Structure 1
Amino acid sequence: MTSHQSTQTMKPATAAKKLGVYLDATPAEFREGVVSRDELKALQADPPEWLRELRRNGPHPRPVVAAKLGISISGLARGGVTEPLTTEQIEELKSAGPEWLQKERATQAEVRKEAVRLKEKRLKEQEKNAERGDQPRPPRS
């Protein structure tokens, strides 16, 4: 008995998310079909012009907009940004430096700082436990 391996495919929305692009801005043939894993790898390895253009100029999906602004996706919502933005719009927003954006950047910086502190604390605890020969504790939920 031979095993027949089928090609795994994904919805265009999933592929767009993995590529970091806004689905509605992709070409119709991309949105209307399915994308195989091999096609996704090919798009990542050698992006066509439409994909390079979308990545360069947008419109960008919320996770990309948030990353470019240095804030969280929740921070975007709190700032009233609900639509995809182009690179130009993101740069204008950065230049304008509205109060909400400054506040969200400060919040994000604190979140990152706290994450580093907690990671260092866990490492120190693991080192202490290793010195004493204790078994590591499972992480708390």
Structure 2
Amino acid sequence: MTRQRSTQTMKPATAAKKLGVYLDATPAEFRDGVISREELDAMQADPPDWLRELRRDGPHPRPVVADRLGVSISGLARAGITEPLTTEQITALKQEQPEWLGRERTTRAESQREAARLAAARSGDRPAN
């Protein structure tokens, strides 16, 4: 006798996070329901128009904004950016090159270098300083 597997579902907030989109900008039918693993996989494989548009134009959630600017989420908070930004706003910030952006990019790069150094030291590639 084989047992029927139940369909794995997730809340819209979880699905939006996995898709890299801002939940409040998604269509009502997405926000108001539950999303199955199969539906999520289908959206990732062949994104509907609304998902393509959100990924292209935004508004984008903070992790996406931080990544596109090359800073950490904490760096966004230190700069006072707490709301989602559109692609246009992100592009404008890149062009303006405010002082905080350069400082936060440097901080993130140093943090990533240190994390890589520690990982290499733990794996035995080279000694930690």
- TM normalised by structure 2 equals 0.93
Residue in structure 1 matched with residue 55 of structure 2 by the alignment: 55
Residue in structure 2 matched with residue 66 of structure 1 by the alignment: 66
Structure 1 position 115, deviation (Å): 1.4
- Amino acid in structure 2 at the alignment position of 1:67: D
2:21 match: secondary structure: coil
Question: Could you list the runs of 5+ residues in structure 1 that have no partner in the other structure?
Answer: 129-141
- Amino acid in structure 2 at the alignment position of 1:71: V
Q: For 1:76-91, list aligned pairs within 5 A.
A: 76-91=76-91
Structure 1 position 118, deviation (Å): 1.5
Residue in structure 1 matched with residue 25 of structure 2 by the alignment: 25
Residue in structure 2 matched with residue 41 of structure 1 by the alignment: 41
Counterpart CA distance in 2 for 1:55 and 1:46 is 13
Counterpart CA distance in 1 for 2:14 and 2:29 is 15
- TM normalised by structure 1 equals 0.85
- Amino acid in structure 2 at the alignment position of 1:40: L
Which stretches of structure 1, 4 residues or longer, exceed 6 Å deviation after superposition? none
Structure 1 position 3, deviation (Å): 1.6
1:10-54, Cα deviation, whole Å (9 max, x unpaired):
000000000000000000100000000000000000001100000
Structure 1 position 2, deviation (Å): 4.1
1:81 match: secondary structure: coil
- Amino acid in structure 1 at the alignment position of 2:8: Q
Identity across the alignment (%): 72
Tell me, yes or no, if structure 1 residue 98 matches structure 2 residue 98: yes
Residue in structure 1 matched with residue 113 of structure 2 by the alignment: 113
State the Cα RMSD in Å.
Answer: 1.5
Larger radius of gyration: 1
Counterpart CA distance in 2 for 1:120 and 1:51 is 38
Counterpart CA distance in 1 for 2:30 and 2:40 is 11
Counterpart CA distance in 1 for 2:2 and 2:118 is 51
Structure 1 position 62, deviation (Å): 0.3
Counterpart CA distance in 2 for 1:114 and 1:92 is 30
Aligned length: 127
Structure 1 position 121, deviation (Å): 1.9
